[in-house]
Amino acid sequence: MSNITNRAELENRQDFILEMARLLVPWGVPETAARLYGYLLLSDGPVSLDNIVADLGVSKSTASVAARLLEMYTLARRRSQGGTRRILFEASEDYDGMLRAQTRSLEQLADLLQKGAQATRTKATRDRLKVMAEFYLVNRNAMESALRKWAARK
């Protein structure tokens, strides 16, 4: 890592980055994007793509794709460096983008389960699908409520 001289600090940073990836990959975030997010969270300020490449040991195109994905989730943002074409990336303070995407997925899953319930002939299958749809809608509603409370805090 660019500005790290203490070996213990370097190991702690690397552990954090890998743990972030371990937690976010099951949410559907590609490993490199999850590692990049951990890296950006620990960075003291905006970092260049060249630093990301060197510190994470990934190709420039891989780092660029990962950064754009984090931007899409609103977990990172880009900044231009005045007087150059150089682009810098930093962690965003907008944490809810990924959760908003998850709420949309939960709603889509519930809709699909409700359609499946209408398409089946057996009561047991229909009841199972309806209960599953209700479960996902309850969770979506809870997430939306939490996001509204969070937004009100800002």
Helix (H) or strand (E) holding 142: helix 123-153
Let me know: does 86 contact 106? Beta carbons within 8 Å: no
Residue-wise pLDDT tens digits, 87-118: 899 999 887 888 888 899 999 999 999 999 99
Q: How many other CB atoms are found less than 10 A from the CB of residue 116?
A: 16
Write down the pLDDT at residue 120: 94
Q: Which domain holds residue 48?
A: 7-91
Number of domains, the chain: 2
Write down the pLDDT at residue 1: 57
The tokens describing 59, both together, are 């190709």
Same domain for 106 and 80: no
Same domain for 33 and 83: yes
pTM of the model as a whole: 0.76
Among 57, 91, 125, residue at a domain's last position: 91
Same domain for 114 and 65: no
- Residues in Cβ contact with 43 at an 8 Å cutoff, skipping those fewer than 6 apart: 90, 91
Let me know: does 22 contact 33? Beta carbons within 8 Å: no
Give yes or no for residue 133 having a pLDDT over 70.
yes
Residue-wise pLDDT tens digits, 37-64: 999 999 999 999 999 999 999 999 999 9
Give yes or no for residue 4 having a pLDDT over 70.
no
Give yes or no for residue 132 having a pLDDT over 90.
yes
Give yes or no for residue 27 having a pLDDT over 90.
no
Closest among 40, 46, 49 to 73, alpha carbons compared = 40
